[in-house]
């Protein structure tokens, strides 16, 4: 885990509708994992490896959003930490109106916990830009030359790669542009206009969850630090995984 000192930054972009408007966000300090969760770690915690592209140091993929939050709780319990999520698999989440969503587990936050969790969308973007060491002129996490920073459609040979093979950003975080999409906590909303500006957690209602970072099969545009993707929480693809975060 890497410590990320809290601070203010400008989130979003005015070039694309879903990233508008650029707005000031203030975040408290937190920790975020240096790498996406690997298959080795996922298997140690759960006893399973759902990934299509096998390799201990490759990122785990084919995990849906519910798998990710459940993993966070199991890891916290293994390490003697209070779990961050209250998960009720029997009760449907009324804030998820997606009629095609079958799971709809009710997942709530235990705000006093220091257990493992998914980063918020704001935490993810702040970390991707380098935290308080950020350079808002960088298009990707760590610079402007994606070939040096991440795996995407032009260099991945249509598969994931072991984590940490490309250059890190200024915080020492790897693979935040490309390799796999990463789940965030937030529901996807069409823009930021109604987002609170201190430790925002996104909309309280939605049909899909935020994914960030782009993946091995995506073009340059999807790997930008401000690009906002979305997936239905229960879908599992070859190009989606997650990264751990933690409140400090």
The answer to whether the beta carbons of residues 72 and 82 sit under 8 Å apart is no
Tens-place pLDDT, residues 173-195: 999 999 999 999 999 998 887 67
The answer to whether the beta carbons of residues 148 and 157 sit under 8 Å apart is no
User: Domains of the chain (ranges plus CATH)?
Assistant: 2-247 (3.90.1580.10)
pLDDT of 55 reads: 98
- What's this model's pTM, rounded to 2 decimal places? 0.97
pLDDT of 26 reads: 96
Distance between CA 167 and CA 206 in Å, rounded?
35
pLDDT of 243 reads: 98
Q: Is 135 or 193 the better-scoring residue by pLDDT?
A: 135
| Average pLDDT of the segment spanning 156-160 | 98
Tens-place pLDDT, residues 201-219: 999 999 999 999 999 999 9
pLDDT of 23 reads: 92
Distance between CA 66 and CA 105 in Å, rounded?
8
């Amino acid at each position: 885990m890497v410590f990320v000192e809290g601070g203010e930054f400008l989130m979003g972009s005015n070039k694309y509708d879903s990233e508008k408007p650029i707005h000031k966000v203030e975040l408290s300090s937190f920790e975020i994992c240096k790498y996406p969760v690997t298959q080795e770690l996922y298997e140690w915690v759960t006893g399973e490896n759902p990934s299509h592209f096998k390799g201990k140091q490759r990122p785990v993929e084919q995990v849906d959003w519910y798998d990710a939050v459940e993993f966070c709780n199991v890891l916290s319990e293994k390490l003697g930490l209070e779990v961050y999520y209250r998960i009720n698999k029997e009760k449907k989440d009324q804030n998820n109106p997606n009629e095609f969503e079958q799971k709809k587990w009710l997942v709530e936050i235990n705000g006093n916990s220091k257990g493992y969790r998914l980063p918020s969308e704001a935490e993810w973007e702040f970390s991707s830009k380098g935290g308080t060491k950020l350079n808002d002129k960088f298009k990707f996490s760590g610079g402007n030359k994606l070939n040096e920073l991440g795996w995407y459609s032009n260099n991945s040979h249509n598969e994931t790669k072991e984590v940490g093979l490309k250059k890190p950003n200024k915080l020492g975080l790897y693979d935040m542009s490309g390799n796999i999409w990463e789940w965030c906590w937030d529901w996807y909303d069409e823009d930021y206009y109604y987002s609170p500006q201190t430790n925002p957690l996104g909309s309280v209602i939605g049909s899909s969850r935020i994914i960030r970072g782009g993946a091995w099969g995506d073009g340059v545009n999807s790997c930008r630090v401000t690009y906002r993707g979305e997936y239905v929480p229960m879908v599992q693809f070859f190009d989606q995984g997650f990264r751990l975060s933690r409140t400090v």
